[in-house]
Amino acid sequence: MMISNSKKAFFFASLALMSFAFVSCKSSKGVDQKDGVVVKDVTMNKAPVNDPTTIDAQTSATTPTTSDAQPSSDAQTSATVQTPNTPNDQTTSLPNDQPPHEGFVYVKTLIPDLIEDLRYATTNNFMGAKADGYEGTRVILSRPAAEALKSAADELREKGYVIKVFDAYRPQQAVNHFVRWSKSNDQRNKADYFPTLRKNQLFPKYIAYKSGHTKGSTIDMTICDKNTKEEVDMGGHFDYFGEPSHPSFIGKYSLGEVTQEHKKRRMMLREVMVRHGFKPYDSEWWHFTLKNEPYPNTWFDFPVK
């Protein structure tokens, strides 16, 4: 009996203490009411989802350019590697008869069915960033190069194809941007563009201080089915840095395989372009330069609009 009574007394004492504690909690909550909501939200987020790596990854993924001071290994960047974006189809610029620069033309004014997909005007390129000097998405070439391309386009159309352009005239400021990038630690698009090369191997073999494109008579291109506008499978994509982009390459590589059939298509494009006055390039199946280019010693810098 005695024990039970003391138990009871203990129980009531505890109950009294608990209610007191509850009241003081309530009142302390009441005091912090104004900040309470904010504090509560932070605590709630923090407790279950406190993942600094996620936050870091998000931050670095949305950081537009690199800080040179921040070293990043392949392993680190693989987390933020992006797959190529869908091609930029926003080529709905208004007709413009004004030439972009003396001696240059908007190529689509000569070849109306040209498909414009200037990759450096988008983030869908080896840098994963839009390049300086690409203020628009219209393909520009020197007039003689555009006229030669028009005759190539006429022949290709007969065969059932239309031309798609990845790059043509390229302002010097874009090339400067590439050089700056090649010396930074940013390699967010490594997996798609240079999986087998270290970044410091890109310069100067793949990225140089001067580019033929800046002289206005060089083009990076492929062909699409005339009706479906689907890109013809060439066994590899524009700006993949490595041997599989050599027109003559046959074999497997990290992104797939270049077959005899792919090689035949690359060679068909090459033959047509050569027939219309262009020089091919042994390291890139998509790259052609007008043989008699009008500005062989001038590197232009007016922007692409």
Q: Which residues bind Zn ion (CB under 5 A)?
A: 220, 287
Residue 76 CB, nearest distance to Zn ion (Å)? 30
Q: Name which of 66 and 245 has its Cβ closer to Zn ion.
A: 245
Residue with the closest Cβ to Zn ion?
287
Q: Name which of 117 and 220 has its Cβ closer to Zn ion.
A: 220
Q: How many CB atoms lie within 10 A of CB 231?
A: 16
Residue 74 CB, nearest distance to Zn ion (Å)? 26
Distance CA 236, CA 11 (A): 79
Distance CA 6, CA 63 (A): 67
Beta bridge partners of 140: 106
284 is catalytic: yes
Residue 203 CB, nearest distance to Zn ion (Å)? 16
Residue with tokens 């692409």: 304
Q: Which one-letter DSSP state was computed for residue 263?
A: H
Pairing state of beta strands 278-281 and 284-290? Answer: antiparallel
Catalytic residue, from 116, 231, 284, 293: name it: 284
Residue 287 CB, nearest distance to Zn ion (Å)? 4
Give the amino acid at 302.
Answer: F
Contact 148, 96 (CB under 8 A): no
Q: Name which of 119 and 263 has its Cβ closer to Zn ion.
A: 119
Distance CA 153, CA 147 (A): 10
Contact 270, 245 (CB under 8 A): no
Q: Name which of 235 and 280 has its Cβ closer to Zn ion.
A: 280
Active site residues: 284
